[in-house]
Amino acid sequence: MTAKAQRVLSELEGVCLGIIRAHQPCTAYRVRQELRQAPSSHWRASAGSVYPLLERLEGEGLLVARAAAADGRGKQLLSISRTGDASLRRWILAGTDMDLISSVSDPVRSRTFFLDALTAAQRARYIDALIERTEEYLAVTNSRLEKAKNSRNRFDYLGSMGAVKVTEARLDWLRTVRAELARKSA
């Protein structure tokens, strides 16, 4: 009823709320762990961001905290409130804007546009290194997909599948680039 808390959450706020919803009741520490093992390493999940953020969400009533019984560390168990649930839904549904969909920043692709700054030999070594690392990353996302198969939340599986499919496409593209460069220099 209050006009408060009707703001749209930031990316990190939405993700944190979602993590808590899926694992409640859990500690802020746990949220950081989940963030770090997410398919994207975009979030460093630093203490300096996560703790103040969760405190803020609690202050706004989106989270409720209770002290864990008999924990000298002052462990706080967080759960999502009814208001928090509504905020999470709004955050998800607000995610269909064009500029959000096209906002994916890809450092690898960015660099591709400027590859003529390198010598042919440098380029070849660079692409080879990229392909190797991407293969490693694909293996990581694939093993996460395997694990997600047994998740009680089927959206873990569908989300992980997205990471795999996109990584496969990236790998495919990098191999095409390599082939193209080899063709031209031969």
Partner DNA sequence: CGATGCATGTAAGCTGTTACATGATTGC
Partner DNA sequence: GCAATCATGTAACAGCTTACATGCATCG
Nearer to DNA, 10 or 176 (CB): 10
94 is a site residue for DNA (CB under 7 A): no
Q: Does the protein bind a second copy through residue 112 (CB under 8 A)?
A: yes
Q: Sign of the C-alpha dihedral, residues 24, 66, 72, 44?
A: positive
Regarding 175 and contact with a second copy (CB under 8 A), the answer is no
d(CA 18, CA 20): 5
Does residue 11 touch a second copy according to CB under 8 A? yes
User: How far is 87 from 92, CA to CA, in rounded Å?
Assistant: 9
Residue 58 half-sphere exposure toward CB, CA atoms < 13 A: 16
Considering only 47-55, 127-135, 152-160, 169-177, which stretch makes contact with DNA by CB under 7 A? 47-55
- 147 counts as binding a second copy under rule CB under 8 A: no
How deeply is 62 buried, as exposed, middle or buried, from its count of CB atoms within 10 A (0-12, 13-18, 19+)? buried
At 96 the three-state DSSP class reads: coil
Interface stretch with DNA, choices 39-47, 82-90, 120-128, 152-160 (CB under 7 A): 39-47
Task: State phi, psi for 157 to the nearest 5 degrees.
Answer: -65, -45
What are the residues binding a second copy (CB under 8 A)?
Answer: 11, 14-15, 18, 21-22, 39-43, 85, 88-89, 91-93, 95-118, 122, 126, 129-130, 133-134, 136-137, 140, 153-156, 158-159, 161-163, 165-166, 168-170, 172-173, 176-177, 180, 184
